[in-house]
Amino acid sequence: MLNVKWRPVAIIATLVLLIHFIVRSPYIEFQFSQTDDAKDALQAERENVIANDQAPANMKHPLPVTVTVTQDVGTPHTVTSIVKETVFVDSDSANEVLEKANAAFVVLTRNNDLKDLRETLVQLEDRFNRRYKYPYVFLNNEPFSDEFKEKIQGMVSGECQFGLIPEEHWSYPEYIDQTRAAEARKDMQDRKIIYGGSESYRHMCRYESGFFFRHPLMDQYKWYWRVEPGVKFACEIDYDPFLFMEHNNKKYGFTVSIKEYIETIPTLWNTTMDFMDKHKEMIPAANLMGFVTDKKGDYNRCHFWSNFEIGSLDFLRSDQYMAYFDHLDRAGGFFYERWGDAPVHSLGVSMFLNKNEVHWFEDIGYFHGPLWNCPKGDANKKCWCPEDQSVEIKYKTWSCTLDFVALENP
């Protein structure tokens, strides 16, 4: 029995240890960050959609458990590990010579994104790029400030290039009726459609759909990894995703896939079907159209969330994808509606690639408010994100990822 006079000391010591655990806990940090992110208008709108339309689902580990894989001890059991051919990094030595792909991070950003972007880059560098030192290409429709360039260059390990977007890539084509476009924005704003009244958002979606890979600074590269200010990377990435894509004949990689708001793309599917009807010779027999259609063949609104992409620039530069983008651009939906680059990229991927050429990076912990992609099982040991928050578990009926996993390979 503890002496009575020592009981207050023991109680105080216990409280100190408890407070220390709470402050240092990464889960508590996650909860705090979620509270801050909830203030963002985009997150609030999306959470409202989820609350009113998609009931959260309880679910066990979503990945196949019957696959037997030969792999090194300690390798996470994930979708990625099943086909991985790349070598894990065992050393952070400054003299280490690593095989690298011809690749770069690409970031569409503005000067006022500096704080959020630096927080993102600290995580990306720490989790991955401090070992590989891949370059960064930063693009802006306005000149970058000296402060922006100095503070970014001072914190990343790879070479930094800062590019100004050509005016013709961030303006109205001559065939767009700007009066009609303005009326469409007003109508969508009145109907409270997310970003419905934003003109700059439409220019951004059009640029990401058909122009970023044509910027002169991107000409020298074969692979890109898209990064946005404010996103989070929660896991140690101890292999090279670029080389994984290259060695395994992948063309497009994603972390999150969900259903698009139909109010933003009411004619996108019909416009896409019109393109397919006119260019049947471009559509390979082995494609991924099962990802974007239901059992009846109707559009299911599924798309890869393009704020995270690792992909082949050769694919985006291909005659097929460029023909598709030009067809959409002429139709005017980027301005008369609010077509996003995510469904556009996803429809292009689904038409021209097959499942073996597309990859879910289940083992990359990634957050873009309000959604997580978080590894499960052994892979989560190198992460600070809670796996039950991963979108394909928490919002099963809104997510399309497990539908992608279930598709048959060609």
Catalytically active residues, by annotation: 309
Secondary structure of the chain in the HEC alphabet?
Answer: CCCHHHHHHHHHHHHHHHHHHHHHCHHHHHHHHHHHHCCCHHHHHHHHHHHHHCCCCCCCCCCCCCCCCCCCCCCCCCHHHHHCCCCCCCCCCCCCCCCCCCEEEEEECCHHHHHHHHHHHHHHHHHHHHHHCCCEEEEECCCCCHHHHHHHHCCCCCCEEEEECCHHHCCCCCCCCHHHHHHHHHHHHHCCCCCCCCHHHHHHHHHHHHCHHHCHHHCCCCEEEECCCCCEECECCCCCHHHHHHHCCCCEEECCEEECCHHHCCCHHHHHHHHHHHCHHHCCCCCCHHHHECCCCCECCEEECCCCEEEEHHHHCCHHHHHHHHHHHHHCHHHHCCCCHHHHHHHHHHHHCCHHHEEECCCCCEEECCEEECCCHHHHHHECCCHHHEHHHHCCCCECHHHHHHCCCC
- Quote the CA–CA distance of 169 and 163 in Å, as a whole number: 13
